[in-house]
Chains A and B, each alone.
Chain A
Amino acid sequence: MLLPPPAPLLVATDLVVGYFAAKKQPRPVAGPLQLALAPGELVCLLGPNGAGKSTLLRTLAGLQPALGGQLAVGGQPLAALSAPERARQLSIVLTDRLDAGNLTVRELVRLGRHPHTGWLGGLSAHDEAQVQAALVATGTAAFGPRPVGELSDGERQKVLLARALAQDTPVVLLDEPTAHLDLPNRVALMRLLHRLARQTGKAILLSTHELDLALQAADRIWLLPAVGALRTGTPEDLVLSGTFAAAFVHEGLAFDAATGTFALHAPTGPAVQLLGSGAAAFWTRRALEREGFVPTTAEASLCVRVPHATQTAWLSQAAGQPPQAHNSVETLLRALSQLKDS
């Protein structure tokens, strides 16, 4: 029997996000949205620039008022919480520039204890233990005495995450934490977030442009298109139902559900029948797409057979002509483009 899903930590009903333009005119950016964040869940918020991802995150964090709808955190309306109460429910990692280069890593993470300390801001042994736990969980304990200004982008992002963890909130929001990071750091951060969500039972919501990583790491995806309604679901359901592909059609992006990637190149040339399987077929297919061909399994006037067990060369054949052998993808492509032109 299926267990009922755990009670969500954060629920938004008919939430409209946006901002007030001149003369207090509300300018909605997205909504009405129906959202729920469950404990132990890593949720990726995807969408093009301008769809309102940052606005939504800032609204969920209580940094800016909602234009409409209800928002409840921990069973209580967000607006009814005092600022420190809210800060004990929600923490956020922003894209704001850090000017405080003199702060050491430990001092910065200690700031996360702000809503838990007294009016003087003194840290108890429990607070220090939380700070240490946050540093250890993010793998930044060794950075403790270093000034924040001397950290690399990847290190700084982990330290900012540690500050949010030290705030000890059930819900953690991150606004584009993978921006400015190289691939290994992006992967490491996503892996870390996924592990944290599982181990600590926190609900972690991050906005990102890393579609591939999000599809792999997220338990749930919130798709916020520039036009149209927000869609939520597990990544696989969204992909298989075609919702994911549909969300990016407006951006001129073609998502291939078979490979889980976005086509970078618009097809221009003729169809090419691709025979074969495995890594060689996958990479040959990518090369053909880059050159504008439309790889297909159906019969076509051009045909390519990739290397397999007994044969180490690529074979290309145009209708009514003898097959040619090629020892690399490069020579194959050159031959094909000649065939196409003739």
Chain B
Amino acid sequence: MRPVQPEAPALAPVAGARRPATWLVALAALVLLGFVLDIALGPVRIPVAAVVKILLGQPTGNPAWTFIVREIRLPKALTALVVGSGLAVSGLQMQTLFRNPLAGPSVLGLTAGAGLGVAAVMLAGGGVANGFAIRALGLGGSWGLVLAATAGAALVMGLVLALSARVRDNVVLLIVGLMIASVTGAIVSLWQYFSAPEQIQEYLLWTFGSLGGVVGSHLAVLAAVVGVGLVLAFASAKPLNALLLGENYARSMGLVVGRSRTLIIASTSLLAGAITAFCGPIGFVGIAVPHLTRALLRTADHRLLLPGTCLAGAALTLACDCVAQLPGSQTSLPLSVVTSLLGAPVVLWVVLRRQNIRSSFS
């Protein structure tokens, strides 16, 4: 046996905690920067100083700027904040629960469920009217779409929750989620196959994802639901930590695994379901940000990882939205295209640098 080396118990935790704390502050600063930049950039460029003034409620002498910021860009930036943090946190929860580095918000089939709801509305009835609403108001402009997507996601969530009560093994549950997603996707494909091209185009537009148009009461509802989901997620920090060693160890440490799993799945469903319902499927953020955050914070403690992924998710989504504006031009790109195009190389870089992702994803 090695000789026991004396070590002051009070010192060690401090030394280990410095890195995550520094990064949390840095990420918060990035979120703030991204938030202001996201508002400043667009077809009409508004100086950052003016943006700050408008956000602080001071007059700028340019009512058009004030209108653009208050009515269009502030809601969009807020949506980016909510969407980024929500998707990233739900991804982190899924990766830890399923102990699988490839898990994300979509593994339980929630995104596919929301897609099914939207497809049902668009392809079966009143497709043209809703499609018009998309172009005129953005995706969130239509309560019908939001409700349909919510219903679809809720249906899948109910199914997954009911099955999770019966299925003891998380790997089996993961497969169940993937199969639900597969079946749901197949139904949508079938629907598309028998639909008119114009209707499919409208549906495709929805699948690109968008932060625009979530304003007023829509934004309030989205923020409230995501808020509840995040509170549930932060409440599950301790169970998530216990689950790091696997279900058996978690159970041996006094965790009621079934109850914790329900809490985690409910939280993820609220986050991913609501966000997909309002903004369409936005890929990549949910899978990639948790990896990014772990690599930055070098910790597996969810009491640090949860706020970390929250901030990193918001920062990344805001940054992607800035790029999606194509600064200096009048057009903008679909958000989920930008998140994947920009984010994938970043994650590749992080993952290849760390090499041992399989053994250290959590």
User: Interface on A for B, CB 8 Å cutoff?
Assistant: 58, 61-63, 82-88, 90-92, 94, 96-104, 106-108, 111-112, 114-115, 117, 119-122, 128-129, 131-132, 135-136, 139, 141-142, 144-145, 147, 149, 167, 188, 191-192
Contact = CB atoms under 8 A, between A and B. Distances in A.
Contacts of A92: 249, 252
A340 B299 CA distance: 68
Contacts of A136: 4
B5 to A, nearest CB: 5
B230 to A, nearest CB: 15
A100 B244 contact: yes
Contacts of B255: 83, 114
Interface in B238-262: 238, 241-242, 244-246, 248-249, 251-256
A94 B253 CA distance: 12
Interface in B264-300: 294, 298-300
B155 interface: no
B303 interface: yes
B237 A120 contact: yes
The A interface is mostly helix, strand or loop, or mixed, namely mixed
A106 B300 contact: no
Interface stretch (B11-19, B42-50, B144-152): B11-19
B254 A102 contact: no
A114 B1 contact: no
Contact of B237 (A85, A121, A128, A141): A121
B245 A61 contact: no
Contacts, number: 129
A98 B361 CA distance: 11
Contacts of A94: 246, 248-249, 252
Q: For chain B, give the interface size range.
A: 35 or more
Given A119-B238, A120-B238, A147-B360, A63 B251 contact: yes
A87 B254 contact: yes
B353 interface: no
B235 A142 contact: no
Contacts of B339: none
B2 interface: yes
Contacts of B169: none
Contacts of A102: 294, 298-300, 360-362
Contacts of B15: 145
A97 B359 CA distance: 10
A132 B362 CA distance: 23
Given A101-B360, A114-B253, A142 B5 contact: yes
A84 to B, nearest CB: 4
Nearest to A86: B254
Contacts of A88: 254
B59 to A, nearest CB: 44
Given A111-B244, A120-B303, A121-B237, 13 more contacts: A58-B248, A84-B254, A94-B246, A96-B246, A99-B99, A100-B245, A100-B362, A121-B241, A121-B303, A141-B4, A142-B7, A144-B12, A188-B1
A63 B253 CA distance: 10
18 contacts: A83-B254, A83-B255, A90-B252, A96-B245, A96-B249, A102-B298, A102-B299, A107-B299, A114-B241, A115-B254, A122-B303, A128-B9, A128-B10, A132-B9, A141-B6, A142-B5, A188-B1, A192-B1
- Of the candidates B12, B251, B254, B358, the one having the most CB atoms from chain A within 10 angstroms of its own CB is B254
